């Protein structure tokens, strides 16, 4: 659209230049002044077109860079969520006191949170926020596994956090696959068969 506007402006400038040259050449038979006016108009038009083209190129580069940052942030956040889901699954599966508790984390997510907040639709970002706001609850309950088995309500709380992470990872994965054309990360991670 911008290019169409620029070309239209140049077309009208060219018509104005031709009219000006015709009028000036009738009063100046040598045409020196007409050539000066034409040169000035062409210089202005060329500068205008160049600036539009440079701006268009810069906008395209900024959009490409923004997309790269978003793709990276989605991959980091999705990996972080799937790691937490796997850790919660493993700890719930074992279910008995463990000498060294696994650490659930949101550090990787926190590192890309600003990019996700800026670029993701509100619904998807809110789903991620819900998951990470519940993470301390899972950490608190899973820390109990260093001393004893989990009670039913403690286990249920951890399962709810895990399910919230799964939901957030699925929503983020859907956004990445549908809107950005990324390969699915959640499906491949959750359907992989364990080593035997």
Structural domain boundaries in the chain: 2-191
Residue 107 to residue 68: CA distance in whole angstroms: 20
Quote the DSSP letter at residue 96.
S
Residue 196 to residue 190: CA distance in whole angstroms: 16
Under 8 Å between Cβ of 60 and 161: no
Confidence category of residue 195, pLDDT binned at 50, 70, 90: very low
pLDDT exceeds cutoff 60 at 196: no
pLDDT of residue 92: 83
Residue 111 to residue 109: CA distance in whole angstroms: 5
pLDDT of residue 24: 65
The packing angle between helices 152-180 and 122-143, to 10°, is 150
Residue 109 to residue 134: CA distance in whole angstroms: 14
Average pLDDT of the chain is 81
pLDDT of residue 25: 65
Residue 54 to residue 121: CA distance in whole angstroms: 30
pLDDT exceeds cutoff 80 at 8: no
pTM over 0.75: no
For 157-178, how does the pLDDT look when each residue is reduced to its tens digit (9 = 90+)? 889 999 999 999 999 999 999 9
Confidence category of residue 189, pLDDT binned at 50, 70, 90: very low
């Amino acid at each position: 659209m911008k290019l169409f506007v620029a070309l239209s402006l140049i077309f009208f400038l060219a018509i104005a230049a031709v009219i000006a040259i015709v009028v000036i050449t009738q009063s100046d038979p040598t045409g020196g002044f007409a050539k000066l006016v034409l040169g000035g108009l062409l210089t202005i038009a060329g500068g205008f077109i160049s600036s539009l083209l440079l701006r268009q190129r810069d906008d395209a580069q900024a959009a490409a860079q923004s997309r790269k940052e978003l793709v990276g942030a989605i991959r980091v956040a999705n990996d972080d969520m799937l790691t937490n889901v796997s850790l919660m699954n493993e700890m719930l599966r074992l279910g008995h006191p463990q000498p060294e508790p696994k650490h659930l984390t949101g550090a990787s997510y926190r590192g890309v949170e600003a990019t996700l907040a800026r670029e993701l639709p509100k619904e998807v970002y809110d789903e991620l926020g819900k998951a990470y706001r519940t993470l301390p609850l899972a950490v608190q309950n899973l820390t109990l596994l260093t001393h004893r088995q989990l009670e039913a309500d403690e286990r249920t709380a951890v399962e709810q956090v895990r399910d919230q992470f799964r939901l957030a990872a699925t929503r983020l994965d859907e956004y990445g696959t549908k809107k950005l054309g990324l390969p699915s990360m959640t499906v491949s991670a959750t359907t992989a068969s364990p080593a035997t």
